[in-house]
Chains A and B, each alone.
Chain A
């Protein structure tokens, strides 16, 4: 070994030119490795966004047509009744979906945080819907809420003869079935987020509060829940993001119907682009969706990255 190292030492000088080349490569290798991924993102994400934005100002109908028509497609979009219904539905859906998920998720998390013997098993049960495809969820709930054979009939058989549940085929109520299925799927996940937040609270603060004589419910309302602010924010952002992207669930559960009663921007965009041959309108609806999401995600990501630096 001695000799070998001696040889090493002697060769350091003669190798130094070669080293420069290797050094140069070493210096740029990391960027070369990252470059393809970044190029792909630039093209397939940012390039495509610009492309879609352009499409929304073009005369595209069944096929892309790059003639500039200004705001024509945009005004067509806003004059489409289905689009107005879609936005209205998105609003109803988001409010209920986010609100219920947070209420149920937080309640379950607090209950589970009481040194429950079966905690692990229960947690697993509450969370499993999140592993399912929305299509599967939709299919299951479609059957579960089937007016003829589903829940309604079951309740009748159990003796609640007057029970009536036809929301799935009732235009006024169908959107609420989407809410039910959506909450069922995501609330367990929100529960897990809150539970992690609860576990992250400094126990000594709670001990101090107990010594101060605060009753349990006050410890929750005055000390614990106010400290979960960041979790509320995360949950809100995640759920809103999921709500705006909701597509599969609606397709599988109601197909956007009855009529267009459960249409959402995501389903609107898909049907106008691919089945109704209105690519221009579809593109402008997609751009609008991006705008809503960006207005939430950009500040959120920015603050998260900045906060992470501290």
Chain B
């Protein structure tokens, strides 16, 4: 049975609808990440789970119990805020124990709980400091300690890493993941960073414009995005979305893609979702190619995929050290391919590209929905 159940939830401020019939169910121990661009309503949804924002319609229940009308402090949840929201006038220990104090937990037990959490997060030596004397990473830890000490049914995280610098962010991400694995806690986590979503989540809800675009495991979302928004939002560098035409060449369905050379379009055989694509014959679709499915012939994965090779003009190369991103022109837009760093591609010259056509995705040209 689902542990956290968000059922048909709506939210509108006056006349503006910010969330439209949201349905999400997760199990105990799940790590749910709500991901989407800013303004998509993910933080509002989190605040509604916390009880800090009112629900306009629908219901949220935790462990089978409806949360309608239940005060935030009575929901048995804890939250880690983006700005950490540490009380500036209180020491670290006081910050952690304040919630217990408000719940009238005796002092002896409070102290014990604080010690335990401090040990878990390795910050015993910080307990007497004030928040202003802590570094960003340490504040982040205190904010987590404040949530952990309560041992709540659900943890809520509101973009907890967005105020940290890049390196610290990666470290804390690992730490949060370890905490989740160790405690088996149920977590709802909001972020706009799709890498955080992919690495942390057991379940992802991709949101845009107040609607859950897709809800599923990270693999499902990455491999089978339901529309161009999800396809474009998840993954880095993002998926190449290019215009293509479905056509038949020698009885085989192909995507016809314009190249820099007008007389010689690129023809990519269709290996996937053929049935659905038959009805699109001679129509334009949006073709989705992940950068890692376009490589140099030498590093193409021939055992699992079906490789189609073509020569194309290279516009720009961007070496990153481990890989080289090679940009070419396809279907009127720039397309990024991910090649070995020493594949020999040079800007302004022709180069051989290998397409793994078994992983190509097609989307309806008008609605952006996946064709499958």
Contacts and interface: CB of A to CB of B under 8 A. Distances in A.
Direct contact of A and B (CB under 8 A): yes
Identify the 3 closest CB pairs spanning chains A and B, nearest first. Answer: A1-B109, A1-B113, A4-B105
A19 B112 contact: no
Interface residues of B, number: 16
A70 interface: no
A8 B151 contact: no
Nearest to A6: B151
Given A12-B76, A13-B65, A5 B150 contact: yes
22 contacts: A1-B105, A1-B112, A1-B113, A1-B151, A4-B103, A5-B150, A5-B151, A8-B76, A9-B76, A9-B153, A12-B76, A13-B65, A16-B69, A16-B74, A19-B69, A19-B70, A19-B71, A19-B74, A20-B69, A23-B69, A23-B71, A26-B71
Interface in B78-123: 100, 103, 105, 109-110, 112-113
A13 B62 CA distance: 13
Contacts of B151: 1-2, 5
A86 B212 CA distance: 70
A17 B245 CA distance: 63
Given A1-B113, A12-B70, 19 more contacts: A1-B109, A1-B110, A1-B112, A4-B109, A5-B76, A5-B150, A5-B151, A8-B76, A8-B103, A9-B153, A12-B76, A13-B65, A15-B74, A16-B69, A16-B70, A16-B74, A19-B69, A19-B70, A22-B71
Contacts of A12: 65, 70, 74, 76
Interface size range on A against B: 10 to 19
Contacts of B74: 12, 15-16, 19
A15 B105 CA distance: 17
Contacts of A2: 151
Given A15-B74, A23-B69, A1 B100 contact: yes
A122 to B, nearest CB: 33
Interface of A: 1-2, 4-5, 8-9, 12-13, 15-16, 19-20, 22-23, 26
A13 to B, nearest CB: 7
Contacts of B112: 1
Nearest to B106: A4
Nearest to A26: B71
Interface in B128-171: 150-151, 153
Contacts of A19: 69-71, 74
Interface of B: 65, 69-71, 74, 76, 100, 103, 105, 109-110, 112-113, 150-151, 153
Pick from A5, A12, A15 the residue with the most CB of B within 10 Å. A5
A5 B152 CA distance: 9
A21 to B, nearest CB: 12
Contacts of A15: 74
A23 to B, nearest CB: 6
A23 B74 CA distance: 11
Nearest to B152: A5
Nearest to B114: A1
Q: Which of B70, B112, B113 has the most CB of A within 10 A?
A: B70
A20 B68 CA distance: 11
User: Which of B71, B76, B103 has most A Cβ within 10 Å?
Assistant: B71
Contacts of B109: 1, 4
Contacts of B103: 4, 8
A12 B151 CA distance: 15
Contacts of B150: 5
Most buried by A among B70, B74, B105, B113: B74
Contacts of B70: 12, 16, 19
